[in-house]
Each structure stands twice: as C-alpha cells, then as structure tokens.
Amino acid sequence: MQKTLSLCISIVALTLGAASAHAQAKWTCKADAPMVRGDYKEGDKEAYIHLEGFSRGANYAVTPSADGLSVTGVTANRTAFRCSKAS
C-alpha cells in the first residue's frame, strides 16, 4: 500500500511539472516598427505591444497560426506584429 501511494504521488508530481513547463512557454514579439516591449502568454486573445515613440503600450487582438506556434496582430496605428513561441 505504501509503495502504491508513493508511486501515485510521483506520477502526479511529474504530471504537474510537465503541465507547468508547458504553461510557462516563452514567447517573443517583433513588430514592423521599433518596439519597447511585447508580451504574449499562450492561449491569450491579446498581446501587449509598446512601440517606440508612444508613452505607453496597449493590448491588441491576436490571431493564432494554424500550427499554434505564432500569433499575429495589428496595433492602433496599423503596425503589424508577430509573437512566436520560442523553441
């Protein structure tokens, strides 16, 4: 019984660790203009984009690629951007 419980706890810990690593995937954002900062978290419907020359950034809607490895969007001043999942 003790061994079975230990095995179950180990399996749960490994599963949670793998899920956490997947959820923490790094994304990098690039724009067609100089950018101060860009942030995107997997599964979100928006990315935060702050372009140079503006006092602050904003959240903009994104469209995911078919393979799920990138998202694209356009800022209020029509600057295109892409956020890609780091490999």
Residues in Cβ contact with 80 at an 8 Å cutoff, skipping those fewer than 6 apart: 31, 32, 72, 73, 74
Whether residue 73 lies inside any domain: the answer is yes
Whether residue 50 lies inside any domain: the answer is yes
Whether residue 46 lies inside any domain: the answer is yes
pLDDT at 1: 54
Tell me how many domains the chain contains. 1
The whole domain housing 56 covers 26-85
Tell whether the torsion through CA atoms of 43, 13, 86 and 50 is positive or negative.
positive
In this predicted model, what pLDDT tens digit does every residue of 27-73 receive, in sequence order? 999 999 999 999 999 999 999 999 999 999 999 999 999 999 999 99
More confident residue, 9 or 43: 43
pLDDT at 87: 76
pTM for the whole structure: 0.72
Tell whether the torsion through CA atoms of 39, 65, 32 and 54 is positive or negative.
negative
